[in-house]
Amino acid sequence: MKRWLLRRLAQAGITLAIAMVLLFVLMRLAPGDPLSRLGENRPLSPAETEALRVRYGLDQPLLAQFGVFLRGAARGDLGTSIEYGRPVSALVRERLPATILLGGAVLLLNFTIGIWLGVRQAVRRDSVLDRWLTTVSLAGYAMPSFWLGLVLAWLVGVKWRLLPAAGMQDPLLGPDADWGARGADVLRHLVLPALTLSIVSIAATMRYQRTAMLEALALPYVTTARAKGVRESLVRWRHAWRNALFPVLTLFGLWLPVLVTGSVFVESVFAWPGLGSLAAGAVGYRDYPLLMGTSLLISALVVAASLLTDLAYAFLDPRVRLS
């Protein structure tokens, strides 16, 4: 097992490197000069342009630039953002808590509600509940998340004024407020964006869990367990569900990057200060250092998630041969 783990870690490193190279190449192929934005209000003289080029290392050959990035990343220095003029690592650090909070809330809702409802649907297949939940989940999944967000923000935030329309904190809550009040404030702001993202992702989780659970429930050894008189809830969760977990696990491994980039729209509608909008802006403005920095973080998260998923596979089903 340990040897397998070490090998997987090495492979994870290679994966990350491939991802970074791919992104770097694509980034440079795309037309558009990042420095053009700096001259938007007043045209830059050739001397100024050259100075900026040197400052951001853009005058070096591509391979050297990539090397600089890698060496810096190993040190924790992700370069300086062209758009903001500040270190990328500082920008990322500022935005990371908001992203983790939102992503964490959505994952938590998925894990609990999504799994539970999916299992319930499978257990009561073709019942009224099953059909109704199917339609509801499919409708929820079919709605554009940004549209849902807009409607929720307007309805709940503006028209009914039940929750804040946007933002992460109330600025009027002074810096000396206690943790309880601060926490409640952030929680209030978290509800709508998390709900918007969750409605869509829970629907997908439910679908996958239902499918997998249906297949697991039909397995012969489940029937055997029932025949032996094992309690139904035990049959359901201990026997069937362990088999049904696989696609859902994979799903979680895949949801992570989607949550970060998919949340781009939700972050902008709710003015949630996360990484998604930062990264999307970096693409739009060809802010190479910021783009590489945020992508490195996201890619690292994805690679870690896939590693954990494989680990979970192996842990849950010893029959799966780890090649």
Partner 1 sequence: MTPVGEALHRAWHTPRGRVSAGILVAIGLVGLFGPPYLPDPLAQPDILAGANLPPGPSHPFGTDQLSRDVLARVVTGARVSLAVAVLAVGLSMTLGAAVGLVAGYWGGGVDAVLMRLVDGALAVPRLFVLLLVLALWERIPVIALIVLIGATGWFGTSRLVRGEVLRLREEAYVSAAEALGARRRRIIFRHLLPNAMGPLLVAATLGVGDVILLEAGLSFLGLGVQPPAPSWGGMVFDARAVLVTAPWAGIFPGLAITLTVLAANLFGDALRDAVDARGR
Partner 2 sequence: MTRSRPRTFLGTALTALVLVCPLGAQARDPNTIVIVTGQQATVPVPTLMEGADNNLANLEVADQLFLRLAGFGPSLTTVGERDFVPRLARSWSRQDSLTLVFDLDPRARWHDGVPVTGADVVFTFERARNPAIAPRLADLLRHISSVTAEGERRVVVRFSQPYAEQFYDVVYHVAPLPSHLLMGLTQDELKRSEFVRNPVGNGPYRWVRSVPGQFIELAANKRFFLGRPAVARVFVRIAADPDARINFLLSGEADALENIVPPIANLARIEAARNLRLVPVPSPTVGYLLFNQRAPGDPERPHPILADRSVRRAITLSLDRQALVQSVFGTYAQVPFGPAAPILWIRHNAPAPLGPDPAAAGRLLSAAGWVDRDGDGVLDRDGRPLLLRLNFPNTSAVRGQMALQVQEQLRRVGIAIELQRLEVPVWLERRSGGHFDIDFSSASQDPSPSGLTQSWSCSGGDNVAHYCNARVDTLMERAIRGTGNPADSWHEVLRQIEDDAPATFLYAPSYVHAIDRRFGHVTIRPESSWLELRQWTVERARERPRSGY
In the complex, the residues that contact partner 2 under the rule CB under 8 A are: 31-34, 36-43, 45, 48, 52, 82-86, 94-95, 98, 112, 116, 150, 153-154, 157-173, 175, 181, 184-185, 187-188, 191, 233, 237, 268-271, 273, 277, 281, 284-286
**Count of residues in the chain:** 323
DSSP SS3 for 176? coil
Residue 242, contacted partner among partner 1, partner 2, none, CB below 5-8 A by kind: none
The CB-of-41 to partner 1 minimum distance in angstroms stands at 21
The reply on whether position 313 binds partner 1 by CB under 8 A is yes
Q: How far apart are CA 125 and CA 240, in angstroms?
A: 15
Q: 69: closest CA among 54, 85, 80?
A: 80
Contacts of residue 51, defined as CB under 8 A and 6 or more positions apart, other chains included, come to none
Q: What does DSSP assign to residue 78?
A: -
Half-sphere exposure of 288 (CA within 13 A, CB side): 23
Q: How far apart are CA 244 and CA 249, in angstroms?
A: 9
Residue 101, contacted partner among partner 1, partner 2, none, CB below 5-8 A by kind: none
| Burial call 23-37: b when 16+ CB within 10 Å, e when fewer | ebeebeeeeeebbee
Q: How far apart are CA 15 and CA 21, in angstroms?
A: 10
Asked if residues 279 and 294 have their Cβ atoms less than 8 Å apart, the reply is: yes
Residue 323, contacted partner among partner 2, partner 1, none, CB below 5-8 A by kind: partner 1
The CB-of-204 to partner 2 minimum distance in angstroms stands at 20
Cβ proximity to partner 1: between 84 and 141 the closer is 141
Q: How far apart are CA 254 and CA 303, in angstroms?
A: 10
Binding mask 247-286 for partner 1 (x = CB under 8 A): x--x--xx--x--xxx-xx-------------xx--xx--
Residue 277, contacted partner among partner 2, partner 1, none, CB below 5-8 A by kind: partner 2
CA dihedral 148, 149, 155, 158 (to 10 degrees): -160
Cβ proximity to partner 2: between 64 and 234 the closer is 234
Q: How far apart are CA 256 and CA 103, in angstroms?
A: 8
Cβ proximity to partner 1: between 167 and 257 the closer is 257
Task: Pick the binder of partner 1 from 82, 115, 194, 208 (CB under 8 A).
Answer: 208
Task: Pick the binder of partner 1 from 4, 132, 147, 315 (CB under 8 A).
Answer: 147
Residue 127, contacted partner among partner 2, partner 1, none, CB below 5-8 A by kind: none
The C-alpha R_g of the chain, in whole angstroms, comes to 24
- Judged by the rule CB under 8 A, the positions of this chain that interact with partner 1 are 11-12, 14-19, 22-23, 26-27, 29-32, 134-135, 138-139, 141-147, 150-151, 154, 204, 207-208, 211-212, 214-215, 218, 243, 246-247, 250, 253-254, 257, 260-262, 264-265, 279-280, 283-284, 291, 295, 298-299, 302-303, 306, 313, 317, 319-321, 323
